[in-house]
């Protein structure tokens, strides 16, 4: 087919792509991490409630006090996927004093895994494993709500930015 001499040059495309990249970063990284943390906090609250039912009130060692969520930087660096871990900060079992003394609230809870999984002498009393069944849908709902809010804010800001120019 012969060329009829008509040409068209698009201008402004690099600026648009730059804005889209910025929007992508803002939504994926900032908004996604915030929404994911809020969802993890729902699961953390459920795990703490479960552990509080099991904890022995006569001792200062509370598993519920040591349940925490942590950002998984390694997973993010390796795969680019955002991830929070939910678990028990048990404290070092290597540095326990002889006799394993009770150090009070917030102290080491090396028995947390034994309570969760059980031993041949005691039955398992799971407090972490049932969390996803108990509060999984609430966590998903919280994630969707928070992520939706962030997308709305970003779109509103982009609209303002576009109208101002």
Output the pTM of the full model: 0.77
CA–CA dist 127, 54 (Å, integer): 8
Quote the DSSP letter at residue 128. S
Rounded to 5 degrees, what are φ and ψ at 108? Answer: -60, 140
Residues in the chain: 165
Quote the DSSP letter at residue 110. T
pLDDT band at 10 (very low <50, low <70, confident <90, very high): very low
CA–CA dist 46, 44 (Å, integer): 5
Is 9 a residue whose pLDDT tops 60? no
Is 38 a residue whose pLDDT tops 70? yes
What are the pLDDT digits (tens) for 46-101?
999 999 998 877 777 788 888 999 999 999 899 988 899 999 987 655 566 666 56
Is 161 a residue whose pLDDT tops 80? no
pLDDT at residue number 91:
65
**The pair of three-digit structure tokens given for residue 19, joined into one six-digit string:** 């804005």
- Provide Rg for the chain, Cα atoms: 25
**Lowest mean pLDDT: which of 6-15, 58-67, 87-96, 147-156?**
6-15
Is the pLDDT higher at 134 or at 4?
A: 134
pLDDT at residue number 113:
86
pLDDT at residue number 63:
87
Contact by Cβ (8 Å): 52, 64: yes
- Residues facing 87 on adjacent strands: 68
CA–CA dist 161, 164 (Å, integer): 5
What are the pLDDT digits (tens) for 95-143?
666 665 666 666 678 788 888 899 999 999 999 999 988 998 999 889 8
């Amino acid at each position: 087919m012969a060329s009829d001499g008509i040409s068209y040059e698009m201008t402004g495309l690099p600026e648009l792509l730059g804005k889209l990249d910025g929007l992508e970063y803002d939504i994926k990284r900032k908004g996604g991490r915030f929404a994911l943390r809020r969802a993890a906090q729902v699961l953390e609250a459920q795990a703490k409630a479960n552990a509080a039912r099991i904890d022995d009130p006569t001792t200062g060692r509370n598993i519920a006090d040591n349940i925490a969520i942590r950002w998984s930087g390694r997973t993010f660096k390796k795969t680019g996927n955002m991830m929070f871990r939910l678990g028990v900060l048990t404290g070092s079992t290597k540095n326990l004093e002889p006799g394993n003394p009770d150090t009070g609230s917030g102290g080491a809870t090396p028995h947390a895994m034994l309570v969760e999984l059980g031993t041949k002498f005691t039955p398992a009393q799971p407090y972490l494993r049932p969390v996803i069944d108990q509060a999984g849908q609430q966590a998903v709902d919280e994630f969707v709500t928070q992520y939706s809010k962030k997308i709305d804010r970003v779109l509103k800001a982009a609209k303002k930015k576009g109208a101002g120019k």
